[in-house]
Amino acid sequence: MASKEQTLSNLILSGYLKSKPVILAMRKLSRELFLPASQRPFAWEDRPLPIGFGQTISAPHMYAFMLEAAQIKPGMRILEIGAGSGYGAALLSLLAGKKGEVISLEIVPELAAFAQDNLKKAGCKAQVVCCDGYEGYPQKAPFDRILVTAACEHMPPALPSQLKLGGKMLIPVGKFFQELLLVEKTQQGIFQKPILPVLFVPLTGKIKG
C-alpha cells in the first residue's frame, strides 16, 4: 500500500502537483481522517475509494489536478458541490486560509454529518450544508470559485450566475463520457473549455437533464 510521501512524490513527478500551496495542503492533511475505517489502509493509493451511500472519495491525482486548475488564493469565498467525506472542503479551507470561506453542499444527510465531523477532527474551517447542490447556494453568492465533484449531464444553469466577475468554476459534464470543464466569468461573458476527460459519480437530486 502506498504511503503519503510516495503518492505525493509521484504526483509531483507526473505534473499533477505543481504549486507550493497545494503541495503543502495535501502534505498537511491526513486523508485517512476522511475515510471509513475499512478504507483507511488504502488512503494514499491513487484511486477512488468508497465512502458509503454509493459515493466515493476521488483519487489523490484528481484533487491535485482540480486544486491546481482552480488557483485558490487566501481570502477567497468558495463553494463546493458534493462534500462527500469532507476531504475536498478541508483542502479548500487550507488554501483559502483564515480569511477565506468554504461552503460545501451534500445531499446525503449521513455523509453531510460525516463530513462535518471529519472537518472538525481535522481542525479545518468549512461549513457543510445538507441540500441539493443543483441550484448552488445563492444565499452566499457570489463566489470566487465553485468546484463541482459530481457529474452533470448539462451545466446547471444557476451556477455560472453565482460566480463573481473573474471567478472560475470546475465542473465535470457528460453522461457516459465526461469532460472536466473550466468555466470563467469575464466582462465579455461566460467562457468554458474542456481540460480533462474524467469519470465522476453522477450528481443526485433534482433532474439533471
Q: N- to C-terminal Cα distance for the chain?
A: 40
Catalytic residue among 3, 30, 58, 93: 58
* Beta strands at 101-106 and 77-81: parallel, antiparallel or unpaired: parallel
Burial code (b: 16+ CB inside 10 Å, e: under 16) for 82-115 equals bbbbbbbbbbbbbbbeeebbbbbbbbbeebbebb
Q: Which of 35, 57, 39 is nearest to 48 (CA)?
A: 57
Residue 3 annotated as catalytic: no
Q: How far does CA 86 lie from the centroid of its chain?
A: 9
C-alpha cell at 57: 472519495
CA 80 – CA 86 distance, rounded (Å) = 10
Helix (H, G, I), strand (E, B) or coil at 109: helix
* Catalytically annotated residues: 58
